Amino acid sequence: MDDLIDVIEGNRKYIKCIYVYNKIDTISIEEVDAVSQDPYSACISVHLDLGLEILRQKIWKALGMVRIYTKKRSERPDFEDPIILTQGRGGLTVYHAILQVHKDLLNDFGSAYIWGRSCKFSPMRCG
């Protein structure tokens, strides 16, 4: 009921969050399992280095972040230094990736080849 009133009045904005529970090494496994069932919760133990990778994955997913690896023609991809982008309202495009590198590249850009799960076939040519 409160959410409906907030939407009608338009005076509040709701943002995504992740609840992080630390010191899971002090409670039972059943309690950790019950808390971690929520997709917006993460259970970690900094002392024992538990759950930090799961927390990292949930943060990347909540923020809509992706890694883009670039490569020059006839060279291998550079897996050391990716471009990291967050998804906006319109999603991610090659245009956003080029702007992240340098805006002057838009003048010389013709097309790009894309590999990965997000394209219909690999490599896929797009402009």
- Indicate if 31 and 75 belong to the same structural domain: no
Beta bridge partners of 41: 19
Q: pLDDT tens per residue, the chain (127 residues)? A: 777 777 777 777 777 889 999 998 888 889 888 888 888 899 999 989 888 999 999 998 888 888 888 877 788 877 888 888 887 666 777 787 788 778 888 888 777 788 877 778 878 887 7
Which domain does 113 fall in, by range?
65-126
Distance CA 110, CA 93 (A): 14
| Domain at 87, CATH number | 3.10.20
- The first and second tokens of residue 35, run together, are 């808390």
**Domain termination residue (choose one: 14, 37, 63):** 63
Give residue 89's pLDDT: 67
Q: Are residues 89 and 122 in the same domain?
A: yes
Are 115 and 123 a contacting pair, CB within 8 Å?
yes
Dihedral sign (CA 49, 47, 16, 88):
negative
| DSSP, res 89 | T
Q: Residue 52: what pLDDT?
A: 92
Q: Are residues 21 and 8 in the same domain?
A: yes
The answer to whether residues 17 and 41 touch, using CB atoms and an 8 Å cutoff, is no
- Same domain flag for 59 and 69: no
Task: Write out the two tokens for 49.
Answer: 């280095």
